[in-house]
Structure 1
Amino acid sequence: MAVVEMMGMSLIGPRQEIEALAAELLTLGNFEPVPLEFALERRPASLSSGGARISTFQKNPYDELLEKLNYVWKEAGAVFPAERTCSRDTPSLSREECSRQVLDVAQKIDIWKKRAEVLEEEREKLMAAGAFLDALASADRDVEETLMTRYLSITFGRLSAENYKKLEEMAAVTPLLVYPVVAEKGYVLAIVFCSRDYLEEAEKIFRTVYLKEYRLTDLFEGAGANLRERLRERQLDSERAIRALQEAPRNYLGRRRKDLERLYCAVHSLQRVYALCQKRGEMSGIFVLSGVIPAPTLDRVADQVERLGPNTLLLTEKGTELEKRGRQLPTLLKNNFLARTFQEIVALYSLPSYGETDPSPLVALSFCLFFGFMFGDVGHGFLLAAGAWWLARKGILKKAFASVIRIAGVSAMVFGFLYGSVFGSEEILPSLWTSPMHGISDLIQTSLFVGVAFLSMGIAINILALKREGRTGKMLFDGEGVAGLLFYWTAALTAAIAFTSDGGAPKPLLAVLGLLFLVILFSSVLERLLFGPQEKDEGGVVHTFTVFHDLLSFLSNTASFVRLAAFALNHAGLSAAVFMLSDMVHSLPGGALFRAAVLLLGNIVIVGLEGLIVFIQTLRLEYYEFFSKFYHGGGRPFAPVTWNGKKQD
């Protein structure tokens, strides 16, 4: 009923027009792209001529540009702008202009970062040299005297803390002396002493631990008497320059934030357009873009093609044709507010497949009826509806399920007026129909009538579905077709007469039952005789077991609806038990307080625990009794692309 008709659509035209139309499709939000093969499956001749080959593109070049912009924001220590900050009115830029601007900004950040890395290395080297001088000063040693030793080689360098441990382990078994000078940021600046004769072997060890050597003679040469002060000044200059370079991206972003955000939005827009066209094809400069759209939106798409694509060809194909080719079309539901609220209940079971009857309107009706029948009470229904509203407002309960529970609470209130029940008391209001405690037979008869009505409705929906599929034989003779529906009605009428009269079941009705049973049992034979062999024909043994299963399910499914009366009586009994318990504690010291506590806690338990049980029982009647007669599910949601990604309707 509410499954929107879908259709295939392909756009064939020049690149500029296809990209402009893709932007409009993103704005409309009603287009789900599909691979190129979808369009070419039945049109190889029309889309290839003169030996031209159609090529496809999978890599989105704007992904890399967005990554570079993300890198810019990250280096600036700022939060990357969200997609929702972009509007459709963002000035468009060409691919070349976007690429030029993004690369220019990223190059600036790279230059500042690399320069900061060089200065950081220089700072570490100066810091290490200062530490080396301090060590010499404490030992009262001269720099030149130390570095110009005839027999001793001194190596100064940086390595990771992990490799420094390895170097220490090697020094324990080799003629090396290792001393750490500075440990910072996971690295160690160390001095290594060894004899000059062992220097060649030592250098091999240095390479295995990735020691980065600093030439101290370059730092100390020509420094004069104020060497330590000169090194300290150079170190401070390096630190100031590093801080300036580290702040440069943030300052640049602060000055150019609006321009960079506009650039981001322009790149993001092009990225979304290209993502839509990503699985397109190109043939000699002509682009092909295919997808699925809801049939009611075709006129809007055609208007955009006429406005923006004068040289673009629009090809369409009905959904039925696509299904014949084995394509599973997505499901888009369109319902009124009440039915849309109960789509979540249907989705818990399974989304309707394309072309299948959407049970959401029927679920909206039956769920309210079943729940209210079993939980009818004005007070408890009000508490349930109010509790669902409060939980949704606090964000504890999803909005969709909160709406379902609120409606169920209102339904319970309506049945509460019919039962004359307020917080379990049947003495405050007069019953408009019957009382669960005094009208058990009425409840049982009504629940059976409701079961027959809804099961008949399910079979009728299945009959219509079989008719749409063109399976006339199964529609007429199957146990869940016309013959099965007549058998069910005849059996229900026979049982009603047998239980309400002294004469037993009428023989003519028994004869009709026997005849219908034979029709159902030999339905496959009759179908082959009248309509020829069927593709989905069952084997004889399987068919026989299926027939008996279907006929027995009529009895079990109908009997299952007696739970409507049973839980209505259970609700009244549990409420009466709460009142009895409150009367028992009333005679105790402080009895008024205890009585109020028992009534309060008892009603909370009824609303919470029994409400949950009734909710589950309602789902059981929907899924196992009602849905089993006609519903298959297995659909996938329609997922059109938008400027901010995919949305699910």
Structure 2
Amino acid sequence: MIVQMSFVTLAGPKSDIDRVIDTYLSKYEIQLENALVELNSSGNLLPYVEANPYKDILDKSHALLELMDESIANSPLTDMSVEEATNVINNIDDQIKDLKEEINTLNIRKDKLNEDYDCISPFKNLEYDLKQVLGMNYIKYRFGRVPRDMWDSFQTFINPDLDAVFIDCLVDNDFIWGVYFAPEISIKKVDESFEALHFEQVKIPDNYSGTPAQACMNIAKSISEIDEKIRTVESRISTLVQVNKSHVLSACNRIEIAYGNFDVRKLAACTRDSNIVFHILCGWMATKDALSLQAETENDPNVVCMIDNKTDESKVPPTKLKNPKFAKPFEMYVKMYGLPKYGEFDPTIFVAITYSLLFGAMFGDLGQGLCIFAIGLIVYLLKKIPLAAILSAAGFTSAIFGLLYGSVFGFEGVIPQIWVNPRTSKMNLPIVGSFNTVFVAAILFGVFLILITMIINMVNAFKNKKYADLLIGPNGLTGLIFYASLMAVVILYMSGHSLPGTIVLVIMFVIPLILIALKAPIVNLVQKNKKLFPESAAMYFVEGFFELFEMLLNYFSNTLSFLRVGAFAISHGAMMEVVLTLAGATDGGSPNILVLILGNIFVCGMEGLVVAIQGLRLEYYELFGRFYSGSGKEFKPYSKNIKH
């Protein structure tokens, strides 16, 4: 059902807007509209232009929330003012900022140690004290690396004639790491020679003693100590948040509310009366809530609340749905097609009933239906997924039809057959001869649903004062009389009864068709328009002929579409017969339990999906098209962002 809506306007002193939002609007669901747009007839309105002062503190609160795990985030909240919340967040943020600065300092030291380690580690095999090597006066050294592809040339070059000694320390995939020594007097010439062979120098830190291996061990130990200090500081941050979790969460929640409340100003307008600036807020509310808000603000001298229940085409209310619990999950199917327009018939309950029946008729099995019902119900109770609830309802009707068909997990005869067997029950019809009973039942059910949708369309037309559509049209009174009469004549003929007389048939068939074909000129005649036909009369009748033909074709195709209900009921029984045959359950022997289980799972999964889609297709194409536009706007309450 669609909730009745009202347009509400709130006004008061500009300085009082925060109190109005916090005291009144936070209690109700209201879809705020832009006051400047809605009240554009007033030329002296100005936008409420102010920057949100809570942006920075909101960012700080989000940063604090990221430090909390899920268990902490579920802690109870305490009430506090915006000022108290700001102080709490700033205080905790300052403490955390100091601790993070300490971590940053430690990380800088750690990065420097890692750089030193990367420089020294390739020379671990050098058995010389670094202090002694780096402190030599007459012998110079060069640590570095040579590309591997230059190694053969490098070894050839190093000979007794060169006044230098090279000690290789590490060989990896790309380089040969090592150090060369040369007398101070010839170091310049040696450097030039080594550079020609692509020797790349590496600067070794001069603040380490012992061999390179010992220096690396000392560096690794220092890095480990820094890591431990970092973990300690991080633990202090976690403890700080844990100890203050209730205050932090309450403060963050209060800032969120304050931020959302302030953003309401984006939709507000201001006006000046004498020396006082007033704010104006407006939006859509459920009429029940609007009356409650008006009563609540009646004695407030700083708030004026006005309610407008009149709607026109330029001010169409948003759609807010309110349905019983059993039908609410089916709102998902309705929204997939489109929300009902305000004042239009909400098809949710209709879909809940008809879709469940269609699914059950096509997938009738007591055992499989109960399994689907149980699985869907459990998933819905645990996860609140609407599709699971729809599945549960479909499983329930499947179990009922399975009871009527006498089918349990594909076995027939285990329980008494109350109604028909989809595969074997037949009936004799004139001209057609022997015909499956479920096909006849499916057609009759489809005819019933089509007639119901025509009545719903007429109710919609009456509510919206579209009397021409109510009386004349394929889905109006004339279409209802024609289609109902046609189906009645077919049923009378098929059941062997006598048909109505010629005059009755003319009234039932010919007159409704003529009225439908002449809808436009009849409407123009009633409205006293000078021009009866939109175009030339000849062109109108040509187009009318084809439109009538299309209408009759739609009646025929929509009705026959419901044959698929019987077809899938038969298909389900045939598929289960294949499963029972594969399991050896048709010969009276011991069936293969594993094949039975897997077969039932396969049928439930594959055919269940197909039947679900076919049921939805019947709803959308054969039924919705007759009475439903789905052009409504969704009700989006702003109060969800500002509610305590």
Q: Which runs of 5+ in 2 are unaligned?
A: 155-166, 171-177, 182-186, 196-200, 271-275, 429-436
d(CA) in 2 for partners of 1:122, 1:136:
24
Correspondence for 1:280 among 245, 262, 265: 265
d(CA) in 2 for partners of 1:331, 1:551:
34
d(CA) in 2 for partners of 1:143, 1:447:
98
Alignment CA distance shift 1:248-1:418 (3 Å):
closer
Instruction: Measure how far apart 1:523 and its partner are.
Output: 0.8
Correspondence for 2:452 among 449, 457, 464: 457
Query: What pairs up with 1:351-390 in 2 under 5 angstroms?
Result: 351-376=339-364, 380-390=365-375
The amino acid across from 1:558 in the alignment is: T
Correspondence for 1:331 among 291, 296, 319: 319
Instruction: Measure how far apart 1:597 and its partner are.
Output: 7.2
Alignment CA distance shift 1:259-1:315 (3 Å):
farther
Query: What pairs up with 1:181-220 in 2 under 5 angstroms?
Result: none
Instruction: Measure how far apart 1:104 and its partner are.
Output: 2.3
Match of 2:160 in 1: none
The amino acid across from 2:243 in the alignment is: K
Alignment CA distance shift 1:425-1:503 (3 Å):
same
Match of 2:518 in 1: 522
Q: Secondary structure at the match of 2:512?
A: helix
Correspondence for 2:488 among 487, 490, 493: 493
Match of 2:337 in 1: 349
d(CA) in 1 for partners of 2:119, 2:567:
90
d(CA) in 2 for partners of 1:273, 1:646:
10
The amino acid across from 1:407 in the alignment is: A
Correspondence for 1:592 among 564, 589, 594: 589
d(CA) in 2 for partners of 1:230, 1:443:
89
The amino acid across from 1:268 in the alignment is: N
CA contact (8 A) 1:277 1:289 kept: no
Deviations 1:97-138 (A, max 9, x none): 356435523542453244335544665688799989998955
The amino acid across from 2:444 in the alignment is: F
Alignment CA distance shift 1:12-1:270 (3 Å):
farther
CA contact (8 A) 1:33 1:276 kept: no
d(CA) in 1 for partners of 2:607, 2:220:
76
CA contact (8 A) 2:478 2:512 kept: yes
Match of 2:612 in 1: 615
CA contact (8 A) 2:77 2:247 kept: no
Alignment CA distance shift 1:22-1:547 (3 Å):
farther
Match of 1:19 in 2: 18
Deviations 1:204-258 (A, max 9, x none): xxxxxxx999996xx69xx9x9xx9999999988985775466334314414633
Instruction: Measure how far apart 1:287 and its partner are.
Output: 5.1
Match of 1:4 in 2: 3
Alignment CA distance shift 1:628-1:3 (3 Å):
same
**TM-score normalised according to structure 2 size:** 0.71
CA contact (8 A) 1:180 1:191 kept: yes
Instruction: Measure how far apart 1:476 and its partner are.
Output: 1.9
Alignment CA distance shift 1:607-1:114 (3 Å):
closer
Correspondence for 2:106 among 106, 116, 119: 116
**TM-score normalised according to structure 1 size:** 0.70
Deviations 1:356-381 (A, max 9, x none): 211121122223333344444xxx22
Q: How many residues align?
A: 587
Greater shift, 59-68 or 24-33, is seen at: 24-33
Q: Secondary structure at the match of 1:7?
A: strand
**Percent of counterpart pairs with the same letter?**
22
Q: Secondary structure at the match of 1:335?
A: coil
Q: Which runs of 5+ in 1 are unaligned?
A: 157-163, 173-178, 183-189, 203-210
d(CA) in 2 for partners of 1:598, 1:131:
64
Correspondence for 1:55 among 49, 53, 63: 49
The amino acid across from 2:341 in the alignment is: S
Query: What pairs up with 1:229-378 in 2 under 5 angstroms?
Result: 243-244=228-229, 247-255=232-240, 257-259=242-244, 261-281=246-266, 283=270, 288-302=280-294, 305=297, 311-318=302-309, 320-321=311-312, 324-325=314-315, 329-376=317-364
Match of 1:30 in 2: 29
CA contact (8 A) 2:77 2:246 kept: no
Alignment CA distance shift 1:181-1:334 (3 Å):
farther
The amino acid across from 1:312 in the alignment is: V
Alignment CA distance shift 1:413-1:533 (3 Å):
farther
Matched, 1:473 2:494: no
d(CA) in 1 for partners of 2:296, 2:204:
68
CA contact (8 A) 2:17 2:279 kept: yes
Instruction: Measure how far apart 1:455 and its partner are.
Output: 0.8
Q: Secondary structure at the match of 1:55?
A: coil
Greater shift, 274-283 or 82-91, is seen at: 82-91
Instruction: Measure how far apart 1:551 and its partner are.
Output: 2.8
CA contact (8 A) 2:373 2:393 kept: no
CA contact (8 A) 1:133 1:143 kept: no
Instruction: Measure how far apart 1:630 and its partner are.
Output: 0.8
Matched, 1:402 2:369: no
Alignment CA distance shift 1:414-1:142 (3 Å):
closer
Matched, 1:411 2:397: yes
- The two structures, once aligned, show a CA RMSD in angstroms of 5.5
